[in-house]
Structure 1
């Protein structure tokens, strides 16, 4: 099985990158047959701006941009998609949101048909979300951020395309050694990424 881990953080030494690396390590340690690709959007210079070419593609009046085609091919090769990102303003960073805006296109992620409405095209894709936040769990709970973020990301993006969100984790400030705890948790997520029973449970609950 093959996992695509997409990470959006400009600092390669950040905890976000550390979590992505430990998650990848967990995947490969869980079974020698599993493989991982890490897509570092900042280092690779992905352009998140939704341009006139992207609008034309959405309207079925343009051609697929080469950089978008390359990202879709990455996802098509993957048996699981993992997004690892810092929480900015109670959402994902603009770089990652722009990646979704441009890559999850009409006709590939979903098909908006005049005669049948929206057809979900990514039903075969398990998704795992790992967000790192600087506030504590109490802050998220008091302000309703857990529910708000799951509504906009888990439901608003991935359910719209039919992709199954199997893991939706927030790694938050939780004491002086929270970084070590987060790295250990990331490795554990990686180890069970292709746990068939866990994915079936998520599917049944959806």
Structure 2
């Protein structure tokens, strides 16, 4: 049982880091056998830029670059992928989007066939999204930001690849004391991950 938590925030003292750490800690406490890896792609210096080598990999003219293969291998070792990120302009940070652009490649995450059909290849991977914002839920509903994010991320990325999306949490100010409420929910998510993985293994 293994979970990979990927986060993108340059400040190690950020709420994003605190939420990721709380998820990992809660999962491990709920099931000490559960392995959790945190991938801080900002600290690791992952390059999100799409380059000629990425184009060649997309066209299946060459293998993906080494850093992409390393990220794919890290995901392949996990049963659950958790993305933890701050909401920037009603979406994920550019570095995390670039990580998805480069890592979720044609031939690994999905397969574009010659007949025009797309085969979804990530049915084995369970996904949880944990985004952190400054506006309350009412604003997301009134401006349709919530629907836009679901279309872009939940459906546009993970449904396209066939990865089951188990939950998509927005941790926002509202009722209760923020950010304490965000950290409380992070703990719940960690326990849910450990409980779900344990049940699947039994």
Q: What is the TM-score when the length of structure 1 is the normalising length?
A: 0.93
Q: By how many angstroms is 1:114 displaced?
A: 1.1
- Any idea what SS the aligned residue of 1:60 has? coil
Superposition pairs for residues 75-154 of structure 1, below 5 Å? 75-115=75-115, 117-154=117-154
Q: 1:92, 1:75 → 2: CA distance? A: 19
CA root-mean-square deviation:
1.6
Residue 26 (structure 1) aligns with? 26
For normalisation by structure 2, the TM-score amounts to 0.95
Find the aligned partners of 2:150 and 2:13 in 1 and give their Cα distance. 27
TM superposition shift of 1:116? 5.8
CA distance in structure 2 between the partners assigned to 1:47 and 1:77 by the alignment: 22
The answer for the alignment partner of 1:7 in structure 2 is: 7
Alpha-carbon distance change, 30 to 133 in structure 1, aligned in 2, over 3 angstroms: same
Change (3 A) 1:175 1:11: farther
CA distance in 1, matches of 2:175, 2:116: 51
Match of 1:178 in 2: 178
* Structure 2 gap segments, 5+ residues each: none
Distance 2:50 2:135 in 1: 30
Is the Cα–Cα contact under 8 Å of residues 2 and 77 in structure 2 kept in the other structure?
Answer: yes
Count of residue pairs the alignment pairs up: 199
Q: Which residue pairs with 1:203 in the alignment?
A: none
Distance 1:161 1:185 in 2: 27
**Which segment drifts farther, 24-33 or 98-107?**
24-33
- For 1:118 and 1:81, locate their aligned partners in 2 and report how far apart those are by CA, in whole Å: 22
